[in-house]
Amino acid sequence: MKGRGLIGYKRPVVPPTAGCARNPALAERLIEETCRRQQIAAGQLTIHADRGTSMTSKPVALLLSDLGVTKSHSRPHVSNDNPYSEAQFKTLKYRPAFPERFGSLEDSRGACGDFFGWYNLEHHHSGLGLLTPHDVHHGLAPARVAERAATLASAWRAHPERFPRGKPAPPLLPSEAWINRPKQLAASAPQPLSTDGAPAALADALVIGGDPSVLITQ
């Protein structure tokens, strides 16, 4: 099964698809459809992918140029340059409903369609302050965090003895996400407070902010 796009900072999969093998035509369709569905303008998107034949093919490179999309590839022989895609794939494979094998291509598409619907709409992601990718992607995060804060504050006022560490607060939503964050920046970085951010490339590092976003493919 190949062909999925993951917006790195926000984590939704858009749009999922499945194929029998790596295929430049499938990669082209995935990218073009994603840009159309998400109304992504030229210069707004960076795509980070591995160095497989699909994503390094000339047709895909020409398409990215036409769409005004910036290319980023994993370093050769470095397995952790695409951590968000690998983490999402692990969530897929370790889910109890994931079968030992698929009966057909259509079977895999049906199973993955169900999974990605759950992943985007119901899965409370630990990397997103336990919010769903859908809520973060569509700007609903501040309202969700405020609702949680109000609920926690009400519980604390009613039974403060249940909270020995003081008034509880909902997890913070990170302001940015990194691929291979430079150690010197990681050591001095402030704690995340908001959803603001913008992507920037630093040597072998890639920072994923809010908008524009990074599409991570596998």
pLDDT digits 0-9 by tens, 32-44:
887 888 788 888 8
pLDDT digits 0-9 by tens, 156-187:
999 999 999 999 999 988 877 777 676 655 55
* DSSP code, position 78: -
pLDDT at 192 over 60: no
pLDDT at 113: 85
- pTM for the model: 0.67
SS (H, E, C) 165-176: CCCCCCCCCCCC
Quick one: pLDDT band at residue 208, thresholds 50, 70, 90? very low
119: number of CA atoms within 13 Å, CB side?
Answer: 27
Q: From CA 141, how far away is CA 131, in angstroms rounded?
A: 7
pLDDT at 3: 47
pLDDT digits 0-9 by tens, 44-55:
888 887 787 777
**CATH level 3 topology of 1-218:** Nucleotidyltransferase; domain 5 (3.30.420)
